[in-house]
């Protein structure tokens, strides 16, 4: 077992020893591509979405230097394929590109050092000359009777992301990939399959010809790998049978990504952290990609910040993902920024509608923090006005609340045409926009089942936030007092009867004839539970 050759299975054993959700079914998808024209696979996912876990799993499965049967028997891969096809049948070369970067003293020598190290390991393991090129070495080994190779490259695009302007280094790296995967004298003769992971897609890189033979699966179009992007509802149900899990909180905090035929998908790392610790909070970690992206957000290209504000308020926005060049140096417009945010996991994309949204509370908090730290005048004003609206609601200032909602409506920035502002759904869009600052301290729940019906909007304080629950009922062409009466009649507040503290009941109405909003506020205090 070397640094690159024969990774073994210890890394996967370590993964299995902790909180683990069975994703071994992915192996059968890869097996179906072995030694076919589709044998080169590249998946792009955000950080903390299990890319390295998958790479280590595949290393353990295919590496012929170990016996991994006990690790996979009884798991999904065996249930779908009892023969465990191709298990431990290949020479595996595992390349961790981020590891190269962190361990290299001289960036300019990264690619050359990697090639030499791989050739030296192969030479020692298979008794071939170390003077040959990497491609020649691989051909020599296979034609001497050895099994073909399976390549695993984790974070393949790290050099492009971290050294955006090092064109010579990038060219050397591309040449390495070309030697392996686009070489008529090497690729089909020695490679049974390859699996690459990255954050950004590869299709539109300037050097695309080097790796155009890879089949690509992204956050916009994961296709046959959609089930393996994150945790599905089935995975969450399985976790709930093994651990103490609050599925409602998991959904609010970490759900929100979805794909056709698969349905809802959760952030796997954040779910694992919450289940392990019992703390439902943000586990999102900012990276070098996001820090670079912050500059684009603050530029406010084509009204980008207004769109983000609407999404924080719960609305969806259209996006054209076709113009994105899949790098961080060619951002030209608002659609490019939103497309990049999809690939980084900050936005969820609906392929049917062509719209994006903020997926969950975890990500919403990150956006609020970023926008608050910006210097865009209009955005800052919207946030401040929302802060004041929350205080007026808590203090029972009905006229001020009505005026604030009216101002948002009149400004026309909430994504609903005034011509269609005649139902509760349109009113809901305005109110969500007006209360966007609640994302700092509250979890928003729409249509919350409670009492004998569904409460329109409920803002529940986050843990350790000492603020009242806000229960908001909406009415069109009915007086605001009618909204309050409905709360009492259908006992929406009963869901919180064991919560110690204050509940603010807020009825907001809109008169389609006068085009005016009104507000009625009542307060309740529960004292029976400390």
- Could you report the per-residue pLDDT of 147-185, keeping only the tens digit for each? 999 999 999 998 888 888 888 888 889 889 989 998 888
CB 469, CB 462: distance < 8 Å: no
Mean pLDDT of 416-421: 49
Mean of pLDDT values over 251-263: 93
- How many other CB atoms are there within 10 angstroms of residue 217's CB atom? 21
Q: What whole-number distance in Å separates Cα of residue 307 and Cα of residue 414?
A: 9
Ranges 88-97, 163-172, 381-390, 474-483, most confident: 88-97
Measured torsion, CA atoms of residues 288, 333, 217, 224, in degrees rounded to the nearest 10? 120
Residue 154 burial (CB count, 10 A):
22
Q: At 409, is the pLDDT very low, low, confident or very high (cuts 50, 70, 90)? A: confident
Contact 450, 494 (CB under 8 A): yes
Cβ-proximal residues to 242 (8 Å cutoff; 6+ apart), any chain: none
CB-CB neighbours of 491 under 10 Å? 13
Rounded to the nearest integer, the mean pLDDT of the chain is: 87
Question: In this model, does residue 493 exceed pLDDT 60?
Answer: yes
Q: Do domains 10-217 and 288-375 have the same CATH topology?
A: no
Per-residue model confidence (pLDDT) at position 416? 45
What is the average pLDDT across 339-367? 91
pLDDT (average), residues 23-51 = 95
DSSP calls for 23-71: -THHHHHHHTTTTSTT-EEEEE--TTSSHHHHHHHHHHHHBTTS--HHH
What pLDDT score was predicted for residue 439?
A: 76
Alpha helices in 95-181 (DSSP H): 97-103, 110-126, 134-143, 158-162, 167-181
- Tens of pLDDT along 431-464? 988 898 887 788 888 888 876 778 889 999 987 8
Output the pTM of the full model.
0.81
Structure confidence at residue 530 (pLDDT):
42
Rounded-to-integer distance, Cα 409 and Cα 430, Å = 6
Residues 6+ apart with CB under 8 A from 105: none
**DSSP-derived 3-state class of residue 280:** coil
Whole-number pLDDT of residue 421: 61
Helix, coil or strand: residue 453:
strand
Residue 423, pLDDT above cutoff 80: no
pLDDT on residue 529 = 45
Distance CA 28, CA 34 (A): 10
Specify the range with the lowest mean pLDDT, choosing from 179-188, 280-289, 450-459, 477-486: 280-289
User: Which CATH number does the domain 288-375 belong to among 1.10.760, 1.10.10, 2.60.40, 1.10.1760?
Assistant: 1.10.10
User: Pick from 384, 402, 220: which is nearest to 309 by CA?
Assistant: 384
Rank 3-7, 158-162, 379-383 by mean pLDDT and report only the highest: 3-7
**CA dist., res. 71 & res. 54, Å (int):** 14
Question: How is 304-356 classified by DSSP, letter by letter?
Answer: HHHHHHHHHTT--EE--GGG--SSSS---SHHHHHHHHHHTTSSEEETTTTEE
The number of CA neighbours under 13 Å toward the Cβ of 142 is: 21
Is 70 exceeded by the pLDDT of residue 26?
yes
What is d(CA 87, CA 520) in angstroms, rounded to the nearest whole number?
Answer: 67
Share of the chain above pLDDT 90, in %: 53
Mean pLDDT of 11-34: 96
CA separation (Å) from 400 to 31, 387, 406? Answer: 63, 12, 10
- Using the predicted structure, report yes or no on whether residue 311 has a pLDDT greater than 60: yes
Does residue 194 carry a pLDDT above 90?
yes
pLDDT at residue 201, as a whole number: 86
Q: In angstroms, rounded to a whole number, what is the distance separating the alpha carbons of residues 504 and 363?
A: 26
pLDDT at 242 over 70: yes
- pLDDT band of 204, cuts 50, 70, 90: low
Q: What is the mean pLDDT of residues 254-278?
A: 94
30-39, 188-197, 429-438: which range is least confident on average?
429-438
- Parse the chain into domains and list their residue ranges: 10-217, 228-277, 288-375, 382-526
More confident residue, 25 or 501: 25
Please give the average per-residue pLDDT across 4-29, as a whole number.
95
With bands split at pLDDT 50, 70 and 90, how would you rate the model's confidence at 330? confident
In this structure, which CATH number among 1.10.10.10, 3.40.50.300, 3.20.20.70, 3.40.190.10 belongs to the domain 10-217? 3.40.50.300
When pLDDT is cut at 50, 70 and 90, the band that residue 418 belongs to is very low
């Amino acid at each position: 077992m070397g640094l690159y050759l024969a990774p073994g299975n210890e890394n996967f054993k370590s993964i299995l020893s902790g909180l683990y959700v069975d994703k071994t079914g992915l192996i059968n998808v890869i097996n179906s591509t072995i030694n076919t024209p589709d044998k080169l696979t590249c998946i792009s996912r955000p950080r903390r979405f299990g890319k390295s876990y998958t790479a280590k799993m595949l290393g353990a499965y295919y590496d012929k230097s170990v016996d991994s049967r006990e690790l996979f028997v009884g798991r999904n891969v065996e249930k779908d394929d009892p023969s465990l096809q191709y298990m431990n049948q290949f020479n595996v070369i595992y390349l961790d590109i981020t590891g190269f970067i962190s361990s290299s003293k001289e960036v300019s020598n990264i690619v050359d050092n990697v090639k030499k190290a791989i050739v030296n390991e192969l030479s020692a393991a298979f008794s071939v000359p170390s003077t040959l090129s990497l491609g020649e070495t691989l051909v020599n080994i296979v034609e001497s009777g050895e099994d073909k190779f399976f390549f695993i490259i984790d974070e393949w695009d790290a050099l492009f992301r971290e050294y955006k302007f090092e064109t010579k280094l990038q060219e050397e790296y591309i040449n390495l990939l070309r030697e392996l995967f686009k070489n008529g004298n090497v690729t089909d003769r020695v490679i049974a399959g390859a699996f690459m992971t990255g954050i950004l897609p590869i299709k539109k890189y300037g050097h695309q010809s080097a790796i155009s033979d890879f089949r690509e699966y992204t956050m916009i179009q994961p296709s046959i790998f959609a089930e393996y992007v994150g945790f599905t509802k089935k995975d969450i149900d399985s976790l709930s049978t093994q651990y103490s899990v609050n599925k409602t909180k998991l959904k609010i905090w970490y759900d929100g990504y979805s794909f056709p035929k698969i349905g809802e998908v959760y952030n796997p790392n954040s779910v694992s952290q919450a289940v392990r610790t019992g703390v439902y909070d943000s586990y999102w970690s900012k990276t070098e990609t996001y820090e670079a992206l912050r500059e684009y957000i603050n530029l406010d290209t084509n009204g980008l910040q207004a769109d983000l504000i609407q999404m924080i308020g719960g609305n969806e926005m259209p996006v054209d993902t076709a113009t994105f060049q899949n790098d961080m140096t060619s951002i030209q417009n608002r659609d490019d920024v939103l497309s990049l945010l999809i690939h980084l996991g900050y936005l969820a994309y609906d392929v049917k509608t062509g719209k994006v949204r903020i997926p969950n509370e975890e990500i919403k908090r990150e956006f609020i923090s970023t926008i608050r730290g910006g210097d865009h005048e209009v955005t800052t004003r919207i946030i401040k006005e929302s802060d004041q609206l929350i205080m007026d609601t808590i203090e029972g200032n009905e006229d001020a609340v009505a005026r604030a909602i009216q101002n948002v409506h009149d400004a026309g920035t909430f994504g609903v045409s005034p011509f269609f502002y005649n139902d509760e759904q349109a009113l809901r869009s305005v109110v969500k926009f007006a209360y966007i600052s609640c994302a700092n301290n509250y979890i928003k729940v729409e249509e919350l089942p409670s009492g004998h019906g569904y409460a329109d909007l409920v803002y529940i304080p986050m843990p350790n936030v000492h603020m009242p629950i806000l229960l908001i009922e909406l009415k069109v062409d009915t007086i605001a007092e009618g909204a309050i009466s409905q709360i009492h009649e259908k006992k929406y507040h009963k869901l919180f009867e064991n919560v110690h503290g204050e509940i603010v009941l807020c009825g907001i109405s809109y008169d389609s004839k006068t085009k005016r909003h009104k507000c009625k506020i009542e307060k309740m205090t529960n004292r029976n539970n400390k």
